[in-house]
Amino acid sequence: MQSTTSAPVERVWGLLIDGRSWPRWASGLDELVEGRSSGLDPLGRDGVGAVRAFRSGRSVTGERLTGVVEGRSISYEDAFNFALKDYRAVVELEVTTSGGTAIRWSGTYGMRAGVGWLMPFVLPKVMQRMADDLADYAARLGG
């Protein structure tokens, strides 16, 4: 999934690497559940191994950062999720020719029994919405 913003890559990166910022810009996330998260950086520079737990409605899912390329990309995997197994995703940022940022969000996963059959219909839309929300929020910050 891809989205583009007029915001510079440094601004987009600052939002992406800081798990505490995600509920501000991601319309599907209600809050970062700090009690179920671990390894969060107090300065908002979460590193490899950090687990970010997010609540959406009554559901809490966790994602463990597995790779960080400063200013360019993060990779993460499922730490706990009732509907997915072997979930791995990467978010890549690239400077556009106009000085904005292209955001690419992609992932692979397996399905758990029960609700898992919905994921091929839901997860691509979620990833696209996350990329769009990040792009829109970063642009609205201005400056």
For position 108, what pLDDT does the model report?
Answer: 83
pLDDT for 112 beyond 70: no
Residue 133: DSSP 8-state: H
For position 126, what pLDDT does the model report?
Answer: 84
Which of 85, 67, 91, 87 lies closest to 77 in space, CA to CA?
Answer: 87
Q: What is the CATH number of the domain that holds 18?
A: 3.30.530.20
Using a cut of 0.85, tell me whether the model's pTM lies above it. Answer: yes
CB atoms within 10 A of CB 115: 12
C-alpha triplet 18, 22, 61: angle, nearest 5° = 105
Radius of gyration in angstroms for the set of CA atoms belonging to the chain, rounded to a whole number: 15
Quote the number of domains for the chain.
1
Q: Which domain holds residue 90?
A: 2-140
For position 113, what pLDDT does the model report?
Answer: 65
Amino acid at 96: T
- How confident is the model over 44-55, as pLDDT tens digits? 999 999 999 999
